Chains A and B, each alone.
Chain A
Amino acid sequence: MKQMVELTVNGEKKRIYVRPAATLLNTLREELGLTGAKPGCENGDCGACTINFDGRPMKSCLTLSIEAVDHQVTTIEGLIDTPIQQAFVKQFAFQCGYCTSGFIMNCHALAELYPNANEYQIKDWLQSNICRCTGYEEIEAAITEVLKNKAIEDTPS
């Protein structure tokens, strides 16, 4: 029942055999060895599996792998030293780290798409992810710092 598909993940084209019923979360982890997206609830509730899909945040447990054909998928492995990753380190925005890749993928999309996001929008987006270690203040500080720095960079001197 497996079928050959071509997925574009972190800018690389991958030809793999998948079951049409396989979720993107399962395929990323089990077929492509990209274990950054974490399985939590697998029900759309926790955000641990968040990736970027054409640059927008998406829960990979709510997406079939085959739906990703002709789309760009970015996982945490595809981000290298981005401002949000640096801010997470600086602000100590993780403890056990299980939720971290999901939060970072969500924050990264927010910063890229809405560099002028207001407080309401930040909260609205971040409420999609749960941190069992309750590091919410530090996570909010990290995204706020990234957006502030972007605003400074974008201000004409």
Chain B
Amino acid sequence: MISINFEYHRPHSISEALEMFGELHAKGKEPIFYNGGTEIITMMRIHSLYTEARAVIDIKTIPECTYTGFQGDRLVIGSSIPLAQLQEMPEFPLLGKTCSRIADHTSREKITIGGNICGTIKYKEAVLPLLLTDCDLVIAGDNGINEIPIQQVFDKHMLLAPGSFVVQVLVKKQFLDLPYVSKKMTRIDRIGYPLLTVSALKTGEQARFAFSGLCDFPFRSNSVEDALNNQDWSVQERITNAISQLPAPLLGDAEGSAAYREFVLRNVLEESIAELKGG
């Protein structure tokens, strides 16, 4: 049972949601945007997060947030689309494959892409394909509705101004059907938080790599990619150099020690490079 009481609001447009946020904030209700609600419900129940919120604004009734389809040369994905729907979307197989390994199927019916990338949990695995494809995010806030490259608003986690929310993800068509790999390794079962997840995309002769579960945050790093693409080195040298370029120490936690993560990472990278070379 959630012992905290809060108001529940359902806006039907972006402007209504922004207005509601402003009004509820002015009343001291510490409003939060509510999407799939899985993190909000589970964290509130154990008094771990969101304990100050006295109002939630459910954005799933905003048409732009539930839209998917092509507009011009871009695929538009509403931020309230559940991961189970993305898993079945043939247009963007890398995203589908990555989403298919987040949580379990029934939870994926509720967890949204917006919630996954904006949530507090350190994995945010759905962000990996978005980082690899240089997508733009449509963000609504006090400054209006803007398209912003993901690299400008995602650094370890989403950098959103209070009162703003992600409406849509825009991915250029040219990236959608490039050769890719997406590999999630877990401690024991098929379902679970990642020991590590590697997603990679081949763009011409180069490959792009993004990671979750390796460090305390998901990331894509130029220096790691430069090392992995350096054709002057053997594959093993490339991997060793890439590991020396990681943006933070390897995690050591209940999913696995840092040394074990490094061992698994070496194998996954070797496999990924080989698969992309053939792809």
Chain A residues at the B interface, C-beta cutoff of 8 Å: 1, 3, 19-23, 26, 42-44, 47, 50, 53, 56-59, 61-64, 66-67, 106, 124-125, 127-129
Contacts and interface: CB of A to CB of B under 8 A. Distances in A.
Interface centre among A53, A106, A128 (most CB of B within 10 A): A128
A63 B191 contact: no
A26 B106 contact: no
B97 to A, nearest CB: 12
Label chain A's interface by main secondary structure. Answer: mixed
Contacts of A67: 8, 37, 58
Given A22-B2, A23-B2, A26-B1, A62 B107 contact: yes
Given A21-B2, A22-B2, A44-B103, 12 more contacts: A3-B8, A19-B5, A20-B5, A20-B6, A20-B56, A21-B44, A43-B45, A53-B109, A56-B84, A124-B100, A125-B106, A127-B190
Interface of B: 1-8, 36-38, 41-42, 44-45, 56, 58, 84, 100, 103-107, 109-110, 190-191
A68 B8 CA distance: 12
Contacts of B84: 56
Contacts of B38: 44, 62
A22 B4 CA distance: 10
Contacts of B5: 1, 19-21
Contacts of A26: 1
Interface centre among A1, A20, A21 (most CB of B within 10 A): A21
A57 B1 contact: no
Contact of B106 (A22, A47, A66): A47
Contacts of A64: 8, 37, 41
A43 B1 CA distance: 11
Contacts of B4: 21
Nearest to A5: B8
Nearest to B5: A1
Contact of B105 (A3, A63, A128): A128
Contacts of A56: 84, 109
A9 to B, nearest CB: 18
A23 to B, nearest CB: 7
